[in-house]
Amino acid sequence: MTGWAGTGRWPRPARSHRTSSPPAVAAIPATPGNGWSSRRPPACWAWSAGVPDLHRHLDRPGAVIADLGCGEGWSTIAPARAYPGAALHGVDPDVPSTTAAAAHTADAGLGERITFTTGDAALSLPPATFDAVFAFECLHDLPHPVEFLDAARRALRPDGVVVVMDEAAGD
């Protein structure tokens, strides 16, 4: 569950068909109550099909996605259900949260496609690894949002996307 960095568990940036276009940063306002962080089913991810550039990344067979600030894993489990060809990796510094996230993932039968690491995402992300990096409902709380977003961007493969959703956008 923990310790991707240094244990060889990080996914490898293996594919060679990537373009060299700069990564996009998508800022999509969250809809209160849309439920991706709850136990609700992945219908809450229907919105992503309406964002073609994002859907294209998530729907790739073998897509590798990071969920920064994953909490207890609901924001990781929902997109894993919505995109069955993807592998997801949750990161959170809170041990009880990642412990619960691993348990919820096992209960959901998704242990083959979801892993978690306990740590500060700003310090623990491998470079050039992910097709998409999510930050759901966590940016507003961070003491170092710039470093966090910089790490998220560096963790992308060349044409990857960072997706930030936060109901507390005013913060």
Chain residues binding ligand SAM by CB under 6 A are: 37, 68-71, 74-75, 91-94, 97, 120-122, 136-138, 141-142, 148
> Of 18 and 28, which has the nearer Cβ to ligand SAM?
28
Cβ 18 to ligand SAM, closest distance in Å? 26
Question: HEC string of the chain?
Answer: CCCCCCCCCCCCCCCCCCCCCCCEEEECCCCCCCCCCCCCCHHHHHHHHHCHHHHHHHCCCCCEEEEECCCCCHHHHHHHHHCCCCEEEEEECCHHHHHHHHHHHHHCCCCCCEEEEECCHHHHCCCCCEEEEEEECCHHHCCCHHHHHHHHHHCEEEEEEEEEECCCCCC
Cβ-based nearer residue to ligand SAM, 21 or 154? 154
Closest contact distance (angstroms) between CB of 20 and ligand SAM is 28
In angstroms, give the least distance from the CB of 49 to ligand SAM.
20
Q: Order of strands, edge to edge, in the sheet holding 130-136?
A: 24-27, 156-165, 130-136, 64-68, 87-92, 114-118
In the bound state with ligand SAM, the residue whose beta carbon lies nearer, of 13 and 69, is: 69
Q: Which is nearer to ligand SAM, 1 or 121 (CB)?
A: 121
Q: How far is the CB of 123 from ligand SAM (least distance, A)?
A: 8
Q: How far is the CB of 16 from ligand SAM (least distance, A)?
A: 30
Rank residues 51 and 159 by Cβ distance to ligand SAM and give the closer one.
51
